[in-house]
Amino acid sequence: MRIDILSLFPGIPAAALSESIMKRAQEKGLVEIHSHNLRTWATDKHHVTDDAPYGGSPGMVLKCEPIFAAVEQLKAERRESSGGATGAAPKVVLMTPAGQPLTHALATSYARESHLIILCGHYEGVDQRVIDHLVDAEVSIGDYVLTNGAIAAAVVVDAVVRLIPGVLGDADSAAADSFSHGLLEHPHYTRPVEFRGWRVPDILLSGNHAAIAAWRHEQALAKTRRVRPDLLGSGGTEA
Ligand code: 6GU
């Protein structure tokens, strides 16, 4: 998979994605991530990427021209490097608090793409013609506002890349995650068996795998009921 990120702060996602598992995924050739500065595609002398909104209102709006130029160039380069093959079209995603929420299901669908182009919003937003004629999906990472979408882009890329086969060492570790089964994860313990008087639950020391599995499911259900009852609504796993 190839991922291109376009923002005014390319160092933000580049830093977040250059360590640990994201770093190893790139070294293993499982994903190629490029973080670009949108200003590269602003052709005027001062490399202006934003302007005041028509109709008036505070703040600035990202302009059409540099964004269209960047995305069209990235798409063309990708076509050329694949020998003009008519592979799957790149998916163009705009990071914005006004987008659909990022979920495990959305990350799973993006993990099957061969090319993602992620645009990071900033200031008051981007010109609507970018959304209407260039973008395939608008995505938000939650109901709060960040100063810029570059942080959100790093979140999306991490959530997607860890689902690419081979990225996580243990093939099971993504499958057991919170959300992949609609429940939050059960508690985990490791040595020592007693710390400051707090003991590891006896069941985990019992060697009874069926009982342990049942306990973990109960714990996951109880935690989900307590902190995320919304997950147990229609479609939940509770009988
Ligand atoms: Cl994608 N961008 C910004 N600026 N704020 C956000 C967000 C995105 N998702 C949640 N808050």
Please list the pLDDT of the chain residue by residue as tens digits (239 residues). 999 999 999 999 999 999 999 999 999 999 999 999 999 999 999 999 999 999 999 999 999 999 999 999 999 999 988 877 767 899 999 999 999 999 999 999 999 999 999 999 877 899 999 999 999 999 999 999 999 999 999 999 999 999 999 999 875 577 767 787 889 999 999 999 999 999 999 999 999 999 999 999 999 999 999 999 999 986 544 44
Indicate if 2 belongs to the active site: no
Whether this prediction's pTM lies above 0.95 is answered by: no
Query: Looking at this protein, which amino acid is placed at residue 168?
Result: L
Q: Beta strand 91-101 with 115-120: parallel, antiparallel or unpaired?
A: parallel
Indicate if 97 belongs to the active site: yes
**C-alpha–C-alpha distance, residues 115 and 222, integer Å:** 39
Q: Beta strand 125-126 with 32-37: parallel, antiparallel or unpaired?
A: unpaired
As for ligand 1, residues whose beta carbon falls within 6 Å of it are 95-97, 121, 140-142, 144-146, 148-149, 152
Indicate if 177 belongs to the active site: yes
